[in-house]
A = this chain, B = another copy of it.
Amino acid sequence: MASDMIINHQERAHALLKADADKILRLIKVQMDNLTMPQCPLYEEVLDTQMFGLSREIDFAVRLGLIEVSEGKVILAQLERELSILHEASLKK
């Protein structure tokens, strides 16, 4: 039971971080579809703020021993890849 809870903390940390990364992707997608261009400083500021928030969460989870450094890097790299696909698609519109 208690060791289930430990696994649960680790799995939950990973799931929360993935969900937060997905939230950033959705936010940026909505922003691209409706509001501003990628060239707009506001867009960059929102993205920077969100990426900073996520990287602080990841760093915190690593320091707690809930995820590996490499797992955190994978989450960030995947988000950056998806954002760059979005960005390129918006430039072709």
- Known contacts A49-B52, A53-B52, A53-B53; A60/B16 CB under 8 A: yes
Interface residues on A, range: 10 to 19
Contact present for A64 and B16 (CB under 8 Å)? yes
Chain B residue with the shortest CB-CB distance to A60 = B57
Give the copy number.
2
**Which chain B positions have C-beta within 8 A of A52?**
49, 52-53
Q: Which of A26-68 contact B (CB under 8 A)?
A: 49, 52-53, 56-57, 60-61, 63-66
Complex: how many Å from CA A5 to CA B56?
23
A49 cross-chain contacts in B, Cβ below 8 A: 52
A residues 1-37 near B (Cβ < 8 Å) are 2-3, 5-6, 9, 12-13, 16
